[in-house]
Structure 1
């Protein structure tokens, strides 16, 4: 073989090997770059999709806000979170009508029971007690008190010549010697016999108080009265009951007291 051919052939082989190596490197780089681009593209696509999904979700939540979950009623929440409180051992719950009336001391009074059929007027029988009375002052007379207010209002007609502009014809003490006469009035009423009266003339109306009965309330002696106001024609303008009873007030000796 010609020496030059022998020289060229190895060079050609060497060049071919080098080119092959370069081609393999280029192929490897191309594959690597393609893989990296695929990963980058996938990540970018996922990020874009997530962002778009978040935006779409926000817009949808604004257009169609989610319905609020109904909350339990306050009582239900308290019942669910607060343990039941049981009464202390040996302590019975309070019952209506079993506690003592405030502000008084002493032993409980015996029950009054029903009003006796012959007791009159009926409005002067005490209300059903809301507590256990320990003094006569614990009794209440709701209807009788209401009648007293109406009587006093009717006994205060317009009176231009009066100091206050209204007459005080419902108050006998103003026409029987002034306010200090109230004590004398009480003495005079208590001294009356059944059917007896105390009368006065007011600025516009005339008044009288009549003893209509002496009937006890429970163990307490009492006297029942009827107050009446009449006009100039002697027509009855207003009436109300009155009551005096004998009982002990805050530990004092029993005495007569104006109740109504």
Structure 2
């Protein structure tokens, strides 16, 4: 007799009642995340050692991912993230509700200010850039969509963290706040005071904490409470004065209102 109702056989579960994870899938994801965050093409030895995978298992995973287009291999046997992963990432951004709402306003903000405008989201202790409008000036520093940076070292990250209770922020951040420049906050007490000041002021300022020579102004986007996204404008300090700073902050606050409401 054909059975038309729900499958009476439950999925395998762990002792806690959750669905059992699939080790091969976990390893595949680990390899993709490892290669996507690497700043160079990686050898089999590096992948195997850094991810603590048996060499044969790592090779089988890498070969499968190359054959399916998720990663690329060069003639020297080094691996990097592939076009299929780029397509998946682009699809995520294209269909993201926040990006769709923010992008038209970012376009106008970029035209008004002539400077680089970024949209980013908090992911763990890092921010991930979702969208970027590049400055019309030749002197510009750009973070492309998909790039990850420490939240405590960026205006975008600090704007978001300022909307979270300190206890949550303290648990979220790593034990050591690794600096990107000599200006990065590495002391928890100083960072906490900075986040309190951001809450009072209503916007965050990255004072060359991520990139020397660059100042970034950022505001959190309150789609949720606490916020998980922020909007920023980055500008080389050589093009800044007090009037320019006020104009940028005012434009960012106006843009936030248009995006969120």
TM-score (norm 2): 0.20
- Say which structure, 1 or 2, has more relative contact order (CA 8 Å, 6+ apart): 2
TM-score (norm 1): 0.20
Q: Which has the larger helix fraction?
A: 2
